[in-house]
Chains A and B, each alone.
Chain A
Amino acid sequence: MENVKMQPTNKNKKFVALSLTAITALSLTLAGCGSSNNNNAASTDGNTNTAKADNTAAANNTAKADDTAKADNTAASDEKVTIDFWFPWGGDFQKDFKKTVVDPFEAAHPNIKVKMTFVETTGQTQASDKLLTAIAGGNPPDVALFDRFLIGSWAAKGSLTDIKGMMDADGELKPDDYYPGLWAEVVYKDGVYGLPWGTDNRAMYYNKTLMKQAGLDPEKPPTTLEELDAMAEKIFKKGKNGKYDQIGFIPWMNQGFFYTQAWNWGGKWEDADHNLTPNDPQNVKALQWMADYAKKYDIANLTSFSDAMGQTGMNPIWSGKVGFAFDGNWVLNDLAKYKPNFEWGVAPMPAAEGHPSVTWVGGWSYVIPKGSKHEQAAYEFLKFVAGKEGTLDYAKRANAGNDITAMPAVNDELKLADNPNLKVFLDLMPTAFTRPVTPVGSFLWNETMRVQDLAIHGKGDAQALLDEVKKNVDAELAKVGG
Chain B
Amino acid sequence: MATVGTTTKDNTAALVQTKRKKATKFETKLALFGLLFASPWILGLLMFNVYPLLASAYYSFTTYSILEPGKFVGFENYTTLFKDDVFWKSISNTLYYTFIFVPLSIVQGVALAMLLNLKIKGQGIYRTLFFIPSLVPEIATVIIWLWLLNPQFGLVNFWLDKIGISGPPWIGSEAWSKPSLILMSLWGTGQAVVIYLAGLQDVPQDYYDAAQVDGANAWQRMRTITLPLLTPVIFFNMIMGMIGALQNFVLPYTLTNGQGTPANSMMFYVMYLYTNGFAYLKMGYASAMAWILFIIVVALTAIIFATQKRWVHYQR
A95 CA / B170 CA spacing, docked (Å): 42
| Contact for A300 among B172, B273, B281, B302, CB less than 8 A | B172
Who on chain A is nearest to B52 by CB?
A34
The reply on B210 being an interface residue by CB < 8 A is no
Residues of B within 8 A of A24 (CB): 243
| Contact for A123 among B80, B147, B258, B301, CB less than 8 A | B258
If the complex has contacts A28-B243, A159-B67, A479-B63, are A303 and B150 also in contact, measured as CB distance less than 8 A? no
A22 with B298: CB separation less than 8 A = yes
If the complex has contacts A33-B290, A132-B66, A158-B68, are A21 and B4 also in contact, measured as CB distance less than 8 A? no
Q: How many A-B residue contacts, CB cutoff 8 Å?
A: 170
Q: Which of B119-141 contact A (CB under 8 A)?
A: none
Secondary structure of the B contact surface, majority rule: helix
Residues of B within 8 A of A22 (CB): 297-298, 301
The reply on B53 being an interface residue by CB < 8 A is yes
B53 with A307: CB separation less than 8 A = no
If the complex has contacts A38-B48, A453-B261, are A153 and B281 also in contact, measured as CB distance less than 8 A? yes
B286 with A33: CB separation less than 8 A = yes
Interface residues of A toward B: which range?
35 or more
Who on chain A is nearest to B151 by CB?
A304
The reply on B169 being an interface residue by CB < 8 A is yes
Q: Which of A241-263 contact B (CB under 8 A)?
A: 241-243
- Taking Cβ atoms with an 8 Å cutoff, the residues of B that contact A are 1-2, 4-5, 8, 48-49, 52-53, 56, 63, 65-68, 80, 86, 146-147, 150-153, 161, 166, 169, 171-174, 199, 202, 232-233, 239, 243, 247, 249, 253, 257-259, 261-264, 270, 273-275, 277-281, 283, 286-287, 290, 293-294, 297-298, 301-302, 305, 309, 314-316
**What does the 1/0 interface line of A1-31 toward B look like (CB < 8 Å)?**
1011011110000100110011011111110
5 contacts between A and B (CB under 8 A): A7-B315, A132-B66, A300-B169, A308-B151, A311-B150
| Contact for B56 among A8, A30, A457, CB less than 8 A | A30
A450 with B86: CB separation less than 8 A = yes
A241 CA / B173 CA spacing, docked (Å): 17
**What does the 1/0 interface line of A110-123 toward B look like (CB < 8 Å)?**
00000000000011
If the complex has contacts A6-B232, A8-B5, A308-B151, are A457 and B172 also in contact, measured as CB distance less than 8 A? no
| Contact for B147 among A1, A136, A311, CB less than 8 A | A311
Residues of B within 8 A of A50 (CB): none
A29 with B290: CB separation less than 8 A = yes
A33 with B173: CB separation less than 8 A = no
B247 with A4: CB separation less than 8 A = no
A443 CA / B258 CA spacing, docked (Å): 13
A169 CA / B262 CA spacing, docked (Å): 51
A457 with B262: CB separation less than 8 A = yes
A27 with B243: CB separation less than 8 A = no
B169 with A124: CB separation less than 8 A = no
